[in-house]
Structure 1
Amino acid sequence: MRARGVGGAEESRERLFRLGAAALTDPELLCVVWSSGPRAPGAWAVAGALLSEGGGLKGLVQQEPLALSLRPGVGPVRAAQALAALELGRRSQRARERRPRLRTPKEIAAYLAPVLGALRREVFHVLCFNARNVLVHDARVAEGTMNTCPVDPREVFAAALTSRATSIVLAHNHPSGDPEPSVQDLGLTRHLVAGAQLLNIKVLDHVVMGDGGYVSMLERGLMPDEAQEKRRAWSANGGGG
Protein backbone atom coordinates (compact mmCIF):
# COMPACT_ATOMS: atom_id res chain seq x y z
CA MET A 1 0.00 0.00 0.00
CA ARG A 2 1.18 3.52 -0.71
CA ALA A 3 1.76 5.88 2.18
CA ARG A 4 -0.97 8.48 2.57
CA GLY A 5 -0.18 11.49 0.42
CA VAL A 6 2.23 9.82 -2.01
CA GLY A 7 -0.54 9.57 -4.59
CA GLY A 8 -1.36 13.24 -4.13
CA ALA A 9 -4.56 14.60 -5.57
CA GLU A 10 -5.46 11.48 -7.53
CA GLU A 11 -5.46 9.28 -4.43
CA SER A 12 -7.36 11.91 -2.42
CA ARG A 13 -9.98 12.17 -5.13
CA GLU A 14 -10.42 8.39 -5.16
CA ARG A 15 -10.90 8.39 -1.38
CA LEU A 16 -13.48 11.16 -1.68
CA PHE A 17 -15.61 9.14 -4.09
CA ARG A 18 -15.21 5.97 -2.04
CA LEU A 19 -15.69 7.35 1.48
CA GLY A 20 -17.18 10.84 1.06
CA ALA A 21 -15.61 14.26 1.47
CA ALA A 22 -15.94 14.16 5.28
CA ALA A 23 -13.43 11.29 5.44
CA LEU A 24 -10.61 13.34 3.93
CA THR A 25 -8.06 15.22 6.01
CA ASP A 26 -7.55 18.96 5.55
CA PRO A 27 -4.41 18.47 3.40
CA GLU A 28 -6.25 15.92 1.24
CA LEU A 29 -9.11 18.33 0.64
CA LEU A 30 -6.64 21.01 -0.39
CA CYS A 31 -5.04 18.55 -2.80
CA VAL A 32 -8.41 17.91 -4.41
CA VAL A 33 -9.11 21.66 -4.68
CA TRP A 34 -5.72 22.29 -6.27
CA SER A 35 -5.87 19.48 -8.81
CA SER A 36 -7.10 20.31 -12.31
CA GLY A 37 -5.96 16.97 -13.72
CA PRO A 38 -4.73 13.53 -12.66
CA ARG A 39 -1.58 14.95 -11.11
CA ALA A 40 -0.76 17.88 -8.86
CA PRO A 41 3.02 17.81 -8.34
CA GLY A 42 4.00 18.45 -4.74
CA ALA A 43 0.44 19.30 -3.70
CA TRP A 44 0.47 17.08 -0.61
CA ALA A 45 3.75 18.51 0.74
CA VAL A 46 2.69 22.09 0.03
CA ALA A 47 -0.75 21.58 1.61
CA GLY A 48 0.69 19.94 4.73
CA ALA A 49 3.28 22.67 5.25
CA LEU A 50 0.78 25.44 4.61
CA LEU A 51 -1.69 24.13 7.18
CA SER A 52 0.85 23.20 9.85
CA GLU A 53 2.77 26.47 9.65
CA GLY A 54 -0.22 28.76 9.18
CA GLY A 55 -2.52 27.64 11.98
CA GLY A 56 -4.75 25.21 10.08
CA LEU A 57 -7.84 26.15 8.13
CA LYS A 58 -8.63 29.06 10.41
CA GLY A 59 -5.22 30.57 9.73
CA LEU A 60 -5.59 29.89 6.03
CA VAL A 61 -8.93 31.68 5.72
CA GLN A 62 -7.38 34.75 7.38
CA GLN A 63 -4.56 34.97 4.82
CA GLU A 64 -4.44 37.87 2.41
CA PRO A 65 -4.65 36.55 -1.18
CA LEU A 66 -1.39 38.16 -2.28
CA ALA A 67 0.53 36.98 0.78
CA LEU A 68 -0.81 33.45 0.33
CA SER A 69 0.14 33.41 -3.34
CA LEU A 70 3.76 34.20 -2.40
CA ARG A 71 4.08 31.10 -0.20
CA PRO A 72 6.42 28.45 -1.70
CA GLY A 73 4.55 26.11 -3.99
CA VAL A 74 1.28 28.04 -3.85
CA GLY A 75 1.14 30.78 -6.46
CA PRO A 76 -1.87 32.89 -7.51
CA VAL A 77 -3.95 30.02 -8.95
CA ARG A 78 -3.72 27.77 -5.89
CA ALA A 79 -4.23 30.74 -3.55
CA ALA A 80 -7.40 31.74 -5.37
CA GLN A 81 -8.70 28.15 -5.43
CA ALA A 82 -8.13 27.62 -1.71
CA LEU A 83 -9.67 30.92 -0.61
CA ALA A 84 -12.64 30.48 -2.94
CA ALA A 85 -13.31 26.99 -1.53
CA LEU A 86 -13.15 28.29 2.04
CA GLU A 87 -15.49 31.16 1.22
CA LEU A 88 -17.98 28.73 -0.34
CA GLY A 89 -17.90 26.75 2.90
CA ARG A 90 -18.50 29.90 4.91
CA ARG A 91 -21.45 30.92 2.74
CA SER A 92 -23.01 27.48 2.98
CA GLN A 93 -23.39 28.01 6.74
CA ARG A 94 -25.49 31.13 6.35
CA ALA A 95 -29.19 31.08 6.99
CA ARG A 96 -31.01 29.44 4.09
CA GLU A 97 -33.88 31.85 4.31
CA ARG A 98 -33.34 35.03 2.36
CA ARG A 99 -35.28 36.96 4.97
CA PRO A 100 -34.94 35.06 8.26
CA ARG A 101 -36.82 36.04 11.39
CA LEU A 102 -34.20 36.65 14.07
CA ARG A 103 -35.83 37.05 17.44
CA THR A 104 -33.09 36.76 20.06
CA PRO A 105 -29.43 37.75 20.47
CA LYS A 106 -28.50 34.06 20.23
CA GLU A 107 -30.22 33.71 16.86
CA ILE A 108 -28.56 36.88 15.63
CA ALA A 109 -25.13 35.62 16.71
CA ALA A 110 -25.73 32.30 14.94
CA TYR A 111 -26.65 34.19 11.77
CA LEU A 112 -23.57 36.42 12.02
CA ALA A 113 -21.00 33.73 12.84
CA PRO A 114 -20.39 32.56 9.24
CA VAL A 115 -20.35 36.17 8.03
CA LEU A 116 -18.03 37.74 10.60
CA GLY A 117 -16.01 34.75 11.76
CA ALA A 118 -12.27 34.48 11.02
CA LEU A 119 -11.96 37.94 9.46
CA ARG A 120 -8.62 39.73 9.83
CA ARG A 121 -10.18 43.20 9.87
CA GLU A 122 -12.96 44.73 11.91
CA VAL A 123 -16.16 45.23 9.97
CA PHE A 124 -19.42 46.82 11.05
CA HIS A 125 -22.86 45.56 10.02
CA VAL A 126 -26.35 46.95 10.41
CA LEU A 127 -29.13 44.37 10.50
CA CYS A 128 -32.39 46.01 9.45
CA PHE A 129 -35.73 44.58 10.61
CA ASN A 130 -39.36 45.22 9.84
CA ALA A 131 -42.08 45.32 12.49
CA ARG A 132 -42.23 41.51 12.61
CA ASN A 133 -38.52 41.14 13.31
CA VAL A 134 -37.88 39.81 9.82
CA LEU A 135 -34.42 40.68 8.51
CA VAL A 136 -34.97 42.82 5.43
CA HIS A 137 -31.40 43.99 4.88
CA ASP A 138 -27.91 43.13 6.15
CA ALA A 139 -25.57 46.00 5.31
CA ARG A 140 -21.82 46.15 5.84
CA VAL A 141 -21.34 49.87 6.42
CA ALA A 142 -17.69 50.04 7.46
CA GLU A 143 -14.39 48.14 7.21
CA GLY A 144 -11.36 48.91 9.33
CA THR A 145 -8.09 47.41 10.51
CA MET A 146 -7.12 44.71 13.00
CA ASN A 147 -8.24 46.75 16.01
CA THR A 148 -10.39 49.64 14.85
CA CYS A 149 -13.28 50.36 12.50
CA PRO A 150 -14.40 53.98 12.02
CA VAL A 151 -18.18 54.09 11.59
CA ASP A 152 -20.01 56.93 9.86
CA PRO A 153 -23.51 57.30 11.41
CA ARG A 154 -24.80 58.50 8.05
CA GLU A 155 -24.00 55.10 6.53
CA VAL A 156 -25.74 53.32 9.42
CA PHE A 157 -28.94 55.28 9.09
CA ALA A 158 -28.86 55.30 5.29
CA ALA A 159 -29.04 51.49 5.37
CA ALA A 160 -31.97 51.60 7.82
CA LEU A 161 -33.91 54.26 5.94
CA THR A 162 -33.37 52.69 2.51
CA SER A 163 -34.79 49.38 3.74
CA ARG A 164 -37.62 51.13 5.63
CA ALA A 165 -36.55 49.39 8.82
CA THR A 166 -38.44 49.96 12.05
CA SER A 167 -35.59 48.57 14.14
CA ILE A 168 -31.94 47.69 13.74
CA VAL A 169 -29.26 45.60 15.41
CA LEU A 170 -25.68 46.82 15.32
CA ALA A 171 -22.95 44.22 14.94
CA HIS A 172 -19.21 44.05 14.50
CA ASN A 173 -16.34 41.62 15.04
CA HIS A 174 -13.15 41.60 17.09
CA PRO A 175 -10.36 39.88 15.10
CA SER A 176 -8.47 39.38 18.38
CA GLY A 177 -11.10 36.79 19.27
CA ASP A 178 -12.21 38.51 22.48
CA PRO A 179 -15.81 39.72 22.08
CA GLU A 180 -15.79 41.98 25.15
CA PRO A 181 -17.01 45.46 24.12
CA SER A 182 -14.45 48.23 24.36
CA VAL A 183 -14.99 51.71 25.75
CA GLN A 184 -15.13 52.93 22.16
CA ASP A 185 -17.80 50.34 21.34
CA LEU A 186 -19.96 51.57 24.20
CA GLY A 187 -19.51 55.21 23.21
CA LEU A 188 -20.39 54.50 19.58
CA THR A 189 -23.51 52.62 20.67
CA ARG A 190 -24.73 55.55 22.77
CA HIS A 191 -24.10 57.90 19.86
CA LEU A 192 -26.03 55.75 17.39
CA VAL A 193 -28.93 55.12 19.77
CA ALA A 194 -29.33 58.86 20.25
CA GLY A 195 -29.35 59.42 16.49
CA ALA A 196 -31.82 56.60 15.90
CA GLN A 197 -34.30 58.13 18.32
CA LEU A 198 -34.51 61.24 16.15
CA LEU A 199 -35.51 59.00 13.22
CA ASN A 200 -37.95 56.90 15.26
CA ILE A 201 -35.83 53.78 14.71
CA LYS A 202 -35.26 51.35 17.58
CA VAL A 203 -31.74 50.05 18.20
CA LEU A 204 -32.47 46.65 19.70
CA ASP A 205 -28.95 45.46 20.42
CA HIS A 206 -25.26 45.69 19.60
CA VAL A 207 -23.67 42.27 19.13
CA VAL A 208 -19.89 41.86 19.22
CA MET A 209 -18.58 38.66 17.62
CA GLY A 210 -15.38 36.98 18.76
CA ASP A 211 -13.65 33.64 18.31
CA GLY A 212 -16.50 31.17 18.73
CA GLY A 213 -18.48 33.45 21.03
CA TYR A 214 -20.33 36.73 21.23
CA VAL A 215 -21.42 39.46 23.61
CA SER A 216 -24.86 40.99 23.41
CA MET A 217 -24.89 44.46 24.95
CA LEU A 218 -28.60 43.98 25.52
CA GLU A 219 -28.05 40.83 27.58
CA ARG A 220 -25.23 42.50 29.47
CA GLY A 221 -27.36 45.55 30.29
CA LEU A 222 -24.93 47.78 28.41
CA MET A 223 -27.42 49.41 26.07
CA PRO A 224 -28.26 53.06 26.84
CA ASP A 225 -31.00 53.50 29.44
CA GLU A 226 -33.60 54.79 26.98
CA ALA A 227 -36.15 52.08 26.21
CA GLN A 228 -33.95 49.44 27.87
CA GLU A 229 -36.96 47.62 29.32
CA LYS A 230 -38.65 47.53 25.91
CA ARG A 231 -35.58 45.90 24.39
CA ARG A 232 -35.40 43.35 27.19
CA ALA A 233 -39.01 42.45 26.48
CA TRP A 234 -38.12 41.91 22.82
CA SER A 235 -35.39 39.45 23.78
CA ALA A 236 -37.39 37.64 26.47
CA ASN A 237 -40.44 37.23 24.24
CA GLY A 238 -38.52 35.91 21.27
CA GLY A 239 -38.88 39.05 19.22
CA GLY A 240 -42.28 40.17 20.28
CA GLY A 241 -43.30 40.96 16.71
Structure 2
Amino acid sequence: MMPRSLIRGNPGDDIALDRAWGNTLLAYFARFATERGGVLVGRRSEGLVEITAAVFPPQQVSTPTRCSFDTGVIEGVHDTLKTVRRTPLGDCVATVLGWVHSHPHMGVFLSEQDQHTLTTWTDLDASAVAVVADPFTRGHSIQAWGRKCARRALRIRDEPVGLMLDEGARLADALSGAADPGLRGLWDVVGSGGIVSVHVSGRTSAARRTEEER
Protein backbone atom coordinates (compact mmCIF):
# COMPACT_ATOMS: atom_id res chain seq x y z
CA MET A 1 0.00 0.00 0.00
CA MET A 2 1.05 3.59 -0.54
CA PRO A 3 2.60 5.50 2.39
CA ARG A 4 0.46 8.21 3.92
CA SER A 5 2.97 11.06 3.87
CA LEU A 6 5.11 13.05 1.49
CA ILE A 7 8.19 11.16 0.37
CA ARG A 8 11.01 13.68 0.52
CA GLY A 9 13.41 14.26 -2.34
CA ASN A 10 15.94 16.74 -3.68
CA PRO A 11 15.01 20.25 -4.87
CA GLY A 12 13.17 20.35 -8.19
CA ASP A 13 9.69 19.73 -9.48
CA ASP A 14 7.64 17.67 -7.03
CA ILE A 15 5.80 14.70 -8.49
CA ALA A 16 2.13 14.32 -7.59
CA LEU A 17 0.13 11.12 -7.79
CA ASP A 18 -3.01 9.98 -6.08
CA ARG A 19 -3.15 7.05 -3.71
CA ALA A 20 -5.57 5.10 -5.91
CA TRP A 21 -3.24 5.32 -8.91
CA GLY A 22 -0.25 4.27 -6.82
CA ASN A 23 -2.09 1.27 -5.43
CA THR A 24 -3.36 0.28 -8.88
CA LEU A 25 0.18 0.50 -10.27
CA LEU A 26 1.51 -1.70 -7.46
CA ALA A 27 -1.30 -4.23 -8.01
CA TYR A 28 -0.52 -4.28 -11.74
CA PHE A 29 3.19 -4.89 -11.17
CA ALA A 30 2.41 -7.60 -8.61
CA ARG A 31 0.98 -9.72 -11.45
CA PHE A 32 4.43 -10.17 -12.96
CA ALA A 33 7.55 -11.91 -11.67
CA THR A 34 9.55 -10.00 -14.28
CA GLU A 35 10.29 -6.32 -14.84
CA ARG A 36 7.81 -4.32 -16.90
CA GLY A 37 8.27 -0.84 -18.33
CA GLY A 38 6.04 1.86 -19.73
CA VAL A 39 5.42 5.54 -20.36
CA LEU A 40 4.07 8.03 -17.82
CA VAL A 41 1.48 10.56 -18.97
CA GLY A 42 -0.16 13.49 -17.22
CA ARG A 43 0.34 17.24 -16.96
CA ARG A 44 2.90 19.77 -15.82
CA SER A 45 2.50 23.06 -14.04
CA GLU A 46 4.88 25.41 -12.26
CA GLY A 47 6.97 23.28 -9.90
CA LEU A 48 4.75 20.20 -10.22
CA VAL A 49 4.57 17.07 -12.37
CA GLU A 50 1.18 15.35 -12.04
CA ILE A 51 0.93 11.69 -13.08
CA THR A 52 -2.51 10.59 -14.27
CA ALA A 53 -1.78 7.28 -16.04
CA ALA A 54 0.88 4.86 -17.22
CA VAL A 55 0.87 3.17 -20.63
CA PHE A 56 2.52 -0.25 -20.91
CA PRO A 57 3.20 -1.39 -24.49
CA PRO A 58 4.21 -4.90 -25.58
CA GLN A 59 7.56 -5.69 -23.97
CA GLN A 60 10.57 -6.56 -26.12
CA VAL A 61 12.46 -7.91 -23.10
CA SER A 62 10.99 -8.86 -19.73
CA THR A 63 13.18 -10.75 -17.25
CA PRO A 64 13.45 -10.59 -13.44
CA THR A 65 16.18 -7.94 -13.79
CA ARG A 66 15.56 -6.20 -17.11
CA CYS A 67 12.83 -4.85 -19.36
CA SER A 68 12.66 -2.89 -22.58
CA PHE A 69 10.12 -1.74 -25.15
CA ASP A 70 10.35 -0.25 -28.62
CA THR A 71 11.40 3.40 -28.33
CA GLY A 72 8.94 4.20 -31.12
CA VAL A 73 6.26 3.78 -28.46
CA ILE A 74 7.21 7.16 -26.97
CA GLU A 75 6.53 9.00 -30.23
CA GLY A 76 3.35 6.97 -30.69
CA VAL A 77 2.06 7.98 -27.26
CA HIS A 78 2.98 11.61 -27.99
CA ASP A 79 1.00 11.47 -31.23
CA THR A 80 -1.96 9.84 -29.50
CA LEU A 81 -2.09 12.56 -26.86
CA LYS A 82 -2.24 15.15 -29.64
CA THR A 83 -5.35 13.45 -31.06
CA VAL A 84 -7.20 13.70 -27.73
CA ARG A 85 -5.98 17.19 -26.85
CA ARG A 86 -9.25 18.87 -27.83
CA THR A 87 -11.40 16.32 -26.01
CA PRO A 88 -12.33 16.22 -22.30
CA LEU A 89 -9.56 13.65 -21.89
CA GLY A 90 -6.93 16.09 -23.15
CA ASP A 91 -6.51 18.02 -19.91
CA CYS A 92 -5.78 14.82 -17.97
CA VAL A 93 -3.17 13.48 -20.39
CA ALA A 94 -1.59 16.64 -21.73
CA THR A 95 1.91 15.25 -22.27
CA VAL A 96 4.39 12.42 -21.85
CA LEU A 97 6.12 12.88 -18.48
CA GLY A 98 8.73 10.14 -18.53
CA TRP A 99 9.17 6.47 -17.89
CA VAL A 100 8.13 3.91 -15.27
CA HIS A 101 9.24 0.36 -14.55
CA SER A 102 9.17 -2.27 -11.85
CA HIS A 103 11.91 -3.83 -9.73
CA PRO A 104 10.27 -7.05 -8.50
CA HIS A 105 11.76 -8.13 -5.15
CA MET A 106 14.74 -5.77 -5.63
CA GLY A 107 13.60 -2.56 -3.95
CA VAL A 108 13.30 0.90 -5.46
CA PHE A 109 16.51 2.44 -6.81
CA LEU A 110 18.07 3.42 -10.12
CA SER A 111 20.48 0.83 -11.47
CA GLU A 112 23.41 1.91 -13.61
CA GLN A 113 21.38 1.12 -16.73
CA ASP A 114 18.39 3.02 -15.31
CA GLN A 115 20.59 6.06 -14.74
CA HIS A 116 21.77 5.89 -18.34
CA THR A 117 18.17 5.59 -19.57
CA LEU A 118 16.97 8.53 -17.47
CA THR A 119 19.92 10.66 -18.62
CA THR A 120 18.94 9.91 -22.23
CA TRP A 121 15.36 10.99 -21.47
CA THR A 122 16.42 14.23 -19.76
CA ASP A 123 18.85 15.10 -22.56
CA LEU A 124 15.77 15.24 -24.80
CA ASP A 125 13.34 16.61 -22.20
CA ALA A 126 14.90 18.27 -19.16
CA SER A 127 11.66 17.85 -17.19
CA ALA A 128 11.37 14.08 -17.74
CA VAL A 129 11.04 11.88 -14.67
CA ALA A 130 11.52 8.21 -13.85
CA VAL A 131 9.39 6.19 -11.45
CA VAL A 132 10.44 2.82 -10.04
CA ALA A 133 8.07 0.59 -8.07
CA ASP A 134 8.40 -2.72 -6.25
CA PRO A 135 5.10 -4.17 -5.01
CA PHE A 136 6.91 -6.82 -3.00
CA THR A 137 9.06 -4.56 -0.81
CA ARG A 138 8.18 -3.10 2.58
CA GLY A 139 7.85 0.61 3.21
CA HIS A 140 7.97 3.02 0.30
CA SER A 141 7.20 0.93 -2.77
CA ILE A 142 7.35 3.84 -5.24
CA GLN A 143 10.09 6.42 -5.74
CA ALA A 144 10.83 9.02 -8.40
CA TRP A 145 13.86 10.71 -9.93
CA GLY A 146 14.48 13.62 -12.27
CA ARG A 147 17.31 15.40 -14.03
CA LYS A 148 20.84 14.33 -13.03
CA CYS A 149 19.19 11.27 -11.46
CA ALA A 150 18.25 13.31 -8.39
CA ARG A 151 15.43 11.90 -6.29
CA ARG A 152 12.22 13.93 -6.44
CA ALA A 153 9.63 14.42 -3.73
CA LEU A 154 6.34 12.56 -4.15
CA ARG A 155 3.11 14.31 -3.17
CA ILE A 156 0.66 11.52 -2.46
CA ARG A 157 -2.92 12.75 -2.63
CA ASP A 158 -6.06 11.15 -1.29
CA GLU A 159 -8.33 12.74 -3.90
CA PRO A 160 -8.20 10.99 -7.30
CA VAL A 161 -6.52 12.91 -10.12
CA GLY A 162 -5.64 9.94 -12.34
CA LEU A 163 -7.76 8.51 -15.12
CA MET A 164 -11.00 6.83 -14.15
CA LEU A 165 -11.93 3.56 -15.84
CA ASP A 166 -13.96 5.13 -18.67
CA GLU A 167 -11.19 7.66 -19.35
CA GLY A 168 -8.61 4.88 -19.42
CA ALA A 169 -10.78 3.02 -21.92
CA ARG A 170 -10.91 6.08 -24.20
CA LEU A 171 -7.14 6.46 -24.04
CA ALA A 172 -6.66 2.74 -24.76
CA ASP A 173 -8.92 3.00 -27.81
CA ALA A 174 -6.98 6.03 -29.06
CA LEU A 175 -3.67 4.20 -28.56
CA SER A 176 -4.92 1.14 -30.42
CA GLY A 177 -5.78 3.28 -33.42
CA ALA A 178 -2.38 4.98 -33.45
CA ALA A 179 -0.20 1.94 -32.72
CA ASP A 180 2.27 0.98 -35.42
CA PRO A 181 1.53 -2.46 -36.93
CA GLY A 182 4.99 -3.52 -35.75
CA LEU A 183 3.90 -2.92 -32.16
CA ARG A 184 1.10 -5.44 -32.11
CA GLY A 185 0.24 -7.13 -28.86
CA LEU A 186 -1.24 -6.28 -25.50
CA TRP A 187 -1.25 -2.66 -24.32
CA ASP A 188 -2.25 -1.79 -20.76
CA VAL A 189 -3.38 1.60 -19.44
CA VAL A 190 -3.10 1.94 -15.66
CA GLY A 191 -5.19 4.73 -14.14
CA SER A 192 -6.70 5.53 -10.77
CA GLY A 193 -9.95 3.79 -11.65
CA GLY A 194 -8.46 0.54 -12.87
CA ILE A 195 -6.57 -1.17 -15.67
CA VAL A 196 -7.69 -1.24 -19.30
CA SER A 197 -6.07 -3.69 -21.71
CA VAL A 198 -6.40 -3.65 -25.47
CA HIS A 199 -4.99 -6.16 -27.93
CA VAL A 200 -3.64 -4.38 -31.01
CA SER A 201 -3.57 -6.60 -34.08
CA GLY A 202 -3.37 -3.86 -36.72
CA ARG A 203 -3.35 -0.11 -37.24
CA THR A 204 -7.06 0.32 -36.60
CA SER A 205 -7.82 -2.69 -34.43
CA ALA A 206 -9.16 -2.23 -30.91
CA ALA A 207 -10.44 -5.75 -30.55
CA ARG A 208 -10.72 -7.64 -27.27
CA ARG A 209 -10.52 -4.67 -24.95
CA THR A 210 -10.85 -5.63 -21.29
CA GLU A 211 -11.43 -3.40 -18.29
CA GLU A 212 -10.72 -4.11 -14.65
CA GLU A 213 -12.03 -1.72 -12.02
CA ARG A 214 -10.07 -1.14 -8.84
**Larger RCO: Structure 1 or Structure 2 (Cα < 8 Å, ≥ 6 residues apart)?**
2
So what's the TM-score if we normalise by structure 2? 0.45
Q: Relative to total residues, which structure has the larger strand share, 1 or 2?
A: 2
